[in-house]
Amino acid sequence: MAINQKQVLSLQQKLSPQQIQMIKLLELPTVQLEQRIKQEIEENIVLEEEERSDEEEPQQISVEEYLREDDTPSYKSRINNYSKDDRQRPVYLTEGRSLQEYLVEQLGYRNLSERDMRLAVYLIGSIDEDGYLRRDLESVADDIAFTVGLETTAAELERLLKIIHELEPAGIGARNLQECLLLQMAQMSIDTRPRRLARKILTSYFEEFVKKHYEKLIARLQISEEDFRNAIAEIKRLAPKPGNLYAEGGTDTTPYIIPDFILDCQDGRFQLSLNSGSVPEVRVNRRYVEMIRDMVSPDGTVREKDREAIQFVKNKIDSAKWFISAIKQRHDTLMRTMQTILDYQTEYFRDGDKSKLRPMILKDIADRTGLDVSTISRVVNSKYVQTQFGIILLKSLFSEAMQTESGEEVSSYEIKNILKECIEEEDKRRPLTDETLMDILNAKGYRIARRTVAKYREMLGIPVARLRKQI
């Protein structure tokens, strides 16, 4: 084959490094942005954190001047309620014992050998925060052999697990819900008919109980509805997650949200701002700029030994300017998008009534801002706004539109609220099926299919009619 050359004109779309950096910064919420800026300051020597200047400095008042004005005797300005031999002692703040530490402490009161103690402690370390041992004992035995260096069997671990089952809180170390509930009942005195029935249901008819086949259970047990209701009440008193019963120590799992936007409403007027109080402001260190100027001679020439240093500093300065520009562009894009959302959902932001939410998708905001849909998606993802009625996830404000029989478009939130009200007011002995809920919504003028009702019900975290049934 002959080798030849030819020119081809093609059009390609590529993202520059600056655009990629901007996209990544746009996705970050406030907390992660703060960490990203601090990381960039550590990596780029020419970047520095700009010190915030206080708008109003408190007026310094001299103590001597104050005492002189009041003519207070000198002995009244001294504190003599301590001895010169007293020493300041630090105050240590502790979180308290964790669940695992509490269980290990209880094991100390058992007459266990050193080997059993080491194996039992490892088992306790495998218990999750809910109080369950969700791993099979064969896998735990393999881990002990590799990490601790002790050869053990599933039977030996089963013996030690039974000892753990006797510890407090009741039900700890269970491998499934049935075992957890039975362990709690084992530590109770079964001296009443409802408790005896409850233990029998959990032991022999657990599957029927979970699936709420109540009529079948009543027929098999040959009991009255009143007796069955009392037995179910005893089961409901048990804790499905025994780990939650211990609250002295451990980690705080309560989510702490820092909003990205702050929205104030005064006299019907909105004031929107970006929450950047903890985000450090950065700038280029002027010392490095002056250093480059000193290395360049008046005629514009650079000495050979300084050429590499100048190129290094220049690259760092360019990178710092790109980073500062990306942060500014992120600020403008976030404010522009949030302002558009505020204008679109003004009625909702006045009082927080979800029934006033207009149907809104990403494309609606993209068309109004002139930005791409992917950019709007990155802005609203994991971002929160603080309002007078609470902190709202921006993504939750978007909902698809549904048409009524009159042709009016309503938000899916309105349909979800109606579904929730219907299910709350239903007869729990005969819960409403998805088909019945569809008929109710159609009668109210909402054209909706049964599969859509099922989808909205699952989004609300509501189980099917059979699992909502009560006696």
Q: Look up residue 98 and give its two tokens.
A: 């964790």
Q: What contacts 143, CB < 8 A, 6 or more positions away?
A: 122
What sections of 110-190 are H helices per DSSP? 114-125, 137-147, 154-165, 177-186
- DSSP three-state, residue 393: strand
Q: Counting beta carbons within 10 angstroms of the beta carbon of residue 178, is it exposed (0 to 12), middle (13 to 18) or buried (19 or more)?
A: middle
Q: In the prediction, which pLDDT does 251 show?
A: 47
Contact 233, 224 (CB under 8 A): no
Comparing C-alpha atoms, which of 107, 118, 164 is closest to residue 145?
118
Q: What contacts 244, CB < 8 A, 6 or more positions away?
A: 130, 131
Comparing C-alpha atoms, which of 334, 320, 235, 237 is closest to residue 283?
320
Q: How many CB atoms lie within 10 A of CB 285?
A: 17
Q: In the prediction, which pLDDT does 123 show?
A: 92
CA–CA distance, 286 with 291 (Å, rounded to integer): 9
Q: What contacts 12, CB < 8 A, 6 or more positions away?
A: none
Q: In the prediction, which pLDDT does 409 show?
A: 67
Q: In the prediction, which pLDDT does 274 show?
A: 86
> Which DSSP state fits 428?
T
Q: Per this entry, what is the length of the chain?
A: 471
* Sign (positive or negative) of CA dihedral 301, 304, 307, 309: negative
Q: Look up residue 211 and give its two tokens.
A: 């699936």
Q: In the prediction, which pLDDT does 165 show?
A: 92
- C-alpha distances in Å from residue 21, one per residue of 112, 319, 320, 383, 420: 59, 11, 12, 19, 43
Q: What contacts 356, CB < 8 A, 6 or more positions away?
A: 347, 348, 350
Q: Look up residue 356 and give its two tokens.
A: 């006033």
> Which DSSP state fits 175?
S
Q: Look up residue 348 and give its two tokens.
A: 């909702």
Q: What contacts 194, CB < 8 A, 6 or more positions away?
A: 227, 230, 231, 233, 234
Q: Could you identify the residue written with the tokens 């209880």?
A: 106
Question: Splitting the chain (471 residues) into consecutive groups of 10 residues, what average pLDDT does each group show?
Answer: 79 68 80 85 83 52 44 47 50 63 89 90 90 90 88 91 91 92 90 90 89 86 89 89 71 66 84 81 82 73 74 84 87 91 88 80 89 88 87 84 67 80 85 87 82 86 82 71
- DSSP three-state, residue 247: coil
CA–CA distance, 425 with 337 (Å, rounded to integer): 39
Q: How many CB atoms lie within 10 A of CB 366?
A: 18
- Specify the pTM: 0.57
Q: What contacts 374, CB < 8 A, 6 or more positions away?
A: none
